Structure 1
Amino acid sequence: MKITKYSFLALIVALFLSACEKEFLDTFPTTAVAATDALASTQNAYAALNGMHRIMYTQYDAQGQAGEGSVNIFRDLMGEDIVYPLASGSTGLIGFMRWQTHRNVNDGFLRFVYRFYYRLISNANVLINGIDATPGPEADRKIIKGQALAYRAWAHFQLVQLWGKRYNAGAPNSQEGVPLLLTNTLEGQARTSVEEVYTQINKDLDEAITLLAGYTRAGTAAKSNINVNVAQGFKARVALTQQNWAAAATAAAAARQGVALMDTTAYVAGFNSVNNPEWIWGSRQIDDHNTFFWSYFAYISANFNSTVLRTQPRAINATLWEAIPASDVRKKMWDRTGATVPVPPGGARVPYQNKKFLSQSSSSSVGDVPLMRAAEMYLIEAEAKARSGDNAGAQAALFALVKVRDRRAVQSTNTGQALIDEIMFNRRIELWGEGFRFTDLKRLNLPLNRNGIPNHLTALVTVRDIPAGDPQWEWLFPQDEMNTNKAIVQNPL
């Protein structure tokens, strides 16, 4: 990654525009904020950190580019569980569903994803490398550095999952990963091996967990901040991807400590509020930060009045929905006929229509973006234990979640692959639309298989099969990066 003039200015502007404290806005000029100013005090550094929180959901160059929520949609469109049901409807973002966008070096959405994560990394580096000398309370320095380290680890993890080959615990993992950016530089950086990237990710997370111990979040946007639970959740995700089952189970259990699963009433409320007790991490979006037709809810909700959703409502893989027990509250997240979905004015109704996600109203796409929930941690713990042969532990972890979702559920007696299949089924229905399906298929070395799914229209998806291990599982580096960074090597075309 080369921090170009454009990228560095984006860093500076992000630090300024995203600052929430009025004093910060009053103190510094409206045209730019130097990194040295951001590190003039811990109060200023907190403002810069708030800017990073806002980067997570703010709008970028085009509609459909609104931070991590948008990338979550992209990754799920590349799986088999989100369906575009209408041949005559909007085809916005269809390039991801067709496995084209991530392989087109000139595509603006590919460039957005790459720049988004490195923008977070470059912001994090300013704080990580300068906060120790910043005037202010030591406790504040620890909180700021801990969150910045967690951000840097998480962003590198997201990048290496997309641009690198899958991690294989039984191999050296010397394959090309992504540029590992620990200091901001104008020199183009070569790709670091997958193993080295994961080593640094874990190093950053371990330090973040230490620094964030005892930190209590507060305020209306508290869950936008990264606390020790979130950092442990990152650790669990990374360990699961590395097939380090014991570490994944341990970190997942730590991440959900003190976090209750939501009840069935909250489950059908729209997945749009950080006040939901189950959310461990989420982007709090206030009304005057409305991202309009850019936002997550403009592309995933049931009710926002955009052409994208009005003419092409999101649906679930019909085969997957039919397998959900009728007594499970999660089955209510989609409607078999579309009759009960709160569609926008003039909106279409389709079979298996989504109503899991609801925006503020048909005229407002405001909504808090879910980034980590306790349910995911139960599923990570269950999967890790099942794959390590701890059937009883996996059954217990899975049942702790399922019994809250389904009043008639009984604890599974499955073992081995049958238990793993049951856990993965629950993962698919629980985390639908939250951005995990593509990376789940890739980390498990599974193929994409959309065959036999009756509501996937061949004319729309065009792609039904991608073999496991195919070069198409690796995203291409944007042409802008190839042009400016002569040290980088492109993935196989």
Structure 2
Amino acid sequence: MKNFIYILSAAALFSFSACKKDYLDTMPTDSYASDQVFTTVDNAWNAINGIHRSLYKQYDNQDQGGQGSMMIINDMLGEDLVMTAAGNSWYNPTYKWTMHRNSSASLLKYSYLFYYKIISNANMIINNIDGAVGSESDRKNIKGQAYAYRAWAMWNLVQYFAIRYDGSGGNTQLGVPVLTTNVTEGQPRATVEEVYKQMNMDADSAIADLTVASAPNNKSHINVNTAKGIKARIALTQQHWADAAKYAAEAKAGYTLMTNASYQAGFNDYTNSEWMWGSHQISEQTSYFYSFFAFMSCNFNSTNIRTNPKAINSTLYNQISATDVRKKMWSVDGSGVTVPSGGLLKPYMNKKFLAASSSSSIGDVPIMRAAEMYLIEAEADARMGQDAAAADVLYTLAVNRDPGYVKSTSTGDALLKEILFQRRIELWGEGFRFFDLKRMNAALDRTGANHSTTLTSGLMTMPAGDKQWQFLIPQDEINANKAVIQNDL
């Protein structure tokens, strides 16, 4: 039997057959044998394109639609995204903080599997591409993107399944298995420090390869700026402020912040001037009710959108300046929102995200924007005590969104709070809040806003450092891999 490049690496994880139609779906072929893929760079492009495609395809359940589903999970676990009703039950256990603490939950299993399969496919590329016949530029491009994907996947995994990185040192707590080759025997969990060491090496390798490669002409692909953006995210999580500021500044170079008109266009088009990385979806690749826009748009005619439109935390919304274009991304009373036929109007409901139409959930999914890089640079500068530099960077972004914004004269904690507020409203719904709370060791606090205790099952707060900030390792992995230790139950 041939080895197919979607073979899973982490200890047989969930026992996928090598001959089963699975992960690397690209048009029109579903999978590629490794001895065919890596003979030429032209064939090898199919492998990297397959990873891109995996970010927005549909898997087992409607809450398993690629990276878009993981973005929804991250914000459902925070305080800024508000469920307005139970809808048709998708993501309700996540909102209640029960899904990720149930080792048998299908969405928990998906969260683990999704990123490890990306790592598995990246490993096949990294370990085989050097022998492919073709241009050196193509080999560097393909390999650099694979390194970036592996770093990015590990960055996601370790934040879900491990205790947060402590910038003061140590970090001997259990992380996740580090896999740089695809093996069938069970691998133990590396320490958090070891995981970050490997992902930094991979990010550096990605930057080196992509610096000399020809730039891809499609934002579904990863270029050197995107790789530097991944490096900036890693550094921010590690509290390595100087590196975070440096790589964020380099990552955003050459990107233009969008106009206020573009800001209101639906966050669904990766040709937007400030998008750095996004999943571009065409009509032949629709994921129907699995799509990010089937849950987060205001206009697609799905049961979840009609009955459970997503809203912003009312306390957060009320702090946004009246002259800020972002104030227009939600409606206090539901007026002015394009809803599908029969759709409910709810207070503070979202109109930031628009699907292609009420009958099509197609839309490009934003994975990285230049605005995030401005916010990383500003936060890192502020945490280093470089208040003037932080205020300058913040001003460039904030005045673009709000012509009435005045450059901050705040310093210290006051300036940092202003930057973090801008981060919350700028990146709402794009999958950052759980990671932000966890990296800052901040408590969850949904009180005093429009969260319903009925819909949250009373889960309105979560103390910083509680064991519930860690996802449990899926039971299928525990059963298959005797080298893996479960998190505290």
Q: Secondary structure at the match of 1:460?
A: coil
Distance in 2 separating the partners of 1:11 and 1:211:
33
Distance in 1 separating the partners of 2:64 and 2:475:
19
Question: Could you tell me whether the CA contact under 8 Å between 2:12 and 2:480 is conserved in 1?
Answer: no
Distance in 1 separating the partners of 2:266 and 2:16:
35
* Aligned counterpart, 2:62: 63
Q: Secondary structure at the match of 2:271?
A: coil
Distance in 2 separating the partners of 1:486 and 1:176:
15
Distance in 2 separating the partners of 1:240 and 1:139:
30
Q: Secondary structure at the match of 2:368?
A: strand
Distance in 1 separating the partners of 2:12 and 2:117:
9
The correspondence for 1:447, drawn from 427, 434, 443, is: 443
Counterparts in 2 of 1:370-385, with a 5 A limit? Answer: 370-385=366-381
Deviations 1:440-477 (A, max 9, x none): 00000011111111x11111112011110000000001
Q: Which runs of 5+ in 1 are unaligned?
A: none
1:12 deviates by: 7.4
Question: Could you tell me whether the CA contact under 8 Å between 1:173 and 1:195 is conserved in 2?
Answer: yes
1:33 deviates by: 2.8
1:9 deviates by: 2.8
* Aligned counterpart, 1:127: 125
Question: Could you tell me whether the CA contact under 8 Å between 2:13 and 2:476 is conserved in 1?
Answer: no
TM-score normalised by the chain length of structure 2: 0.96
* Aligned counterpart, 2:394: 398
Distance in 2 separating the partners of 1:175 and 1:8:
33
Counterparts in 2 of 1:113-124, with a 5 A limit? Answer: 113-124=111-122
The correspondence for 2:422, drawn from 419, 423, 426, is: 426
Instruction: Say yes or no: does 1:459 pair with 2:454.
Output: yes
Deviations 1:216-252 (A, max 9, x none): 4455xx0000000000000000000000000000000
1:14 deviates by: 3.0
Distance in 2 separating the partners of 1:329 and 1:350:
20
Instruction: Say yes or no: does 1:46 pair with 2:45.
Output: yes
* Aligned counterpart, 2:3: none
Distance in 2 separating the partners of 1:6 and 1:481:
10
1:215 deviates by: 3.8
Distance in 1 separating the partners of 2:107 and 2:393:
38
1:13 deviates by: 4.0
Instruction: Say yes or no: does 1:257 pair with 2:253.
Output: yes
Q: Which runs of 5+ in 2 are unaligned?
A: 1-9
Task: Report which stretch shifted further, 203-212 or 5-14.
Answer: 5-14
The correspondence for 2:295, drawn from 291, 299, 314, is: 299
Distance in 1 separating the partners of 2:209 and 2:402:
38
Counterparts in 2 of 1:301-316, with a 5 A limit? Answer: 301-316=297-312
Distance in 1 separating the partners of 2:295 and 2:75:
12
Distance in 2 separating the partners of 1:365 and 1:5:
30
* Aligned counterpart, 1:149: 147
1:133 deviates by: 1.2
Distance in 2 separating the partners of 1:456 and 1:214:
49
Distance in 1 separating the partners of 2:13 and 2:76:
31
Question: Could you tell me whether the CA contact under 8 Å between 1:11 and 1:122 is conserved in 2?
Answer: no
* Aligned counterpart, 1:169: 167
From the superposition, tell whether residues 378 and 385 of structure 1 become closer, same or farther in structure 2 (CA, over 3 Å): same
* Aligned counterpart, 1:14: 23
The correspondence for 1:326, drawn from 307, 322, 327, is: 322
1:180 deviates by: 0.4
From the superposition, tell whether residues 218 and 166 of structure 1 become closer, same or farther in structure 2 (CA, over 3 Å): closer
Distance in 2 separating the partners of 1:381 and 1:11:
44
Q: Which amino acid aligns with 1:290?
A: T
* Aligned counterpart, 1:189: 187
Q: Secondary structure at the match of 2:126?
A: helix
Counterparts in 2 of 1:98-117, with a 5 A limit? Answer: 98-117=96-115
Question: Could you tell me whether the CA contact under 8 Å between 2:13 and 2:481 is conserved in 1?
Answer: no
1:430 deviates by: 0.3
From the superposition, tell whether residues 8 and 303 of structure 1 become closer, same or farther in structure 2 (CA, over 3 Å): same
* Aligned counterpart, 1:246: 242
1:303 deviates by: 0.4
Question: Could you tell me whether the CA contact under 8 Å between 2:231 and 2:247 is conserved in 1?
Answer: yes
The correspondence for 1:286, drawn from 241, 265, 282, is: 282
Question: Could you tell me whether the CA contact under 8 Å between 1:301 and 1:356 is conserved in 2?
Answer: yes
Distance in 2 separating the partners of 1:291 and 1:215:
32
The correspondence for 2:177, drawn from 176, 179, 183, is: 179
Distance in 2 separating the partners of 1:11 and 1:262:
43
Distance in 2 separating the partners of 1:10 and 1:393:
55
Question: Could you tell me whether the CA contact under 8 Å between 1:316 and 1:334 is conserved in 2?
Answer: yes
Question: Could you tell me whether the CA contact under 8 Å between 1:91 and 1:312 is conserved in 2?
Answer: no
Q: Percent identity of the aligned residues?
A: 52
Q: Secondary structure at the match of 1:461?
A: coil
Q: How many aligned positions are there? A: 479
* Aligned counterpart, 1:93: 91
From the superposition, tell whether residues 73 and 4 of structure 1 become closer, same or farther in structure 2 (CA, over 3 Å): closer
Could you say what the CA RMSD is over the residues aligned between the two structures, in angstroms?
Answer: 1.4
1:167 deviates by: 0.4
Distance in 2 separating the partners of 1:363 and 1:37:
39
The correspondence for 2:137, drawn from 133, 136, 139, is: 139
Distance in 2 separating the partners of 1:410 and 1:301:
32
Distance in 1 separating the partners of 2:67 and 2:478:
24
Distance in 2 separating the partners of 1:352 and 1:285:
28
1:41 deviates by: 1.0
Question: Could you tell me whether the CA contact under 8 Å between 1:11 and 1:119 is conserved in 2?
Answer: no
Q: Which amino acid aligns with 1:460?
A: L
1:37 deviates by: 1.6
The correspondence for 1:339, drawn from 322, 335, 339, is: 335
Q: Secondary structure at the match of 2:18?
A: helix
From the superposition, tell whether residues 108 and 317 of structure 1 become closer, same or farther in structure 2 (CA, over 3 Å): same
Distance in 2 separating the partners of 1:8 and 1:194:
30
Distance in 1 separating the partners of 2:365 and 2:100:
23
From the superposition, tell whether residues 451 and 10 of structure 1 become closer, same or farther in structure 2 (CA, over 3 Å): farther
TM-score normalised by the chain length of structure 1: 0.95
Question: Could you tell me whether the CA contact under 8 Å between 1:12 and 1:34 is conserved in 2?
Answer: no
1:134 deviates by: 1.4
Counterparts in 2 of 1:209-248, with a 5 A limit? Answer: 209-219=207-217, 222-248=218-244
* Aligned counterpart, 2:80: 81
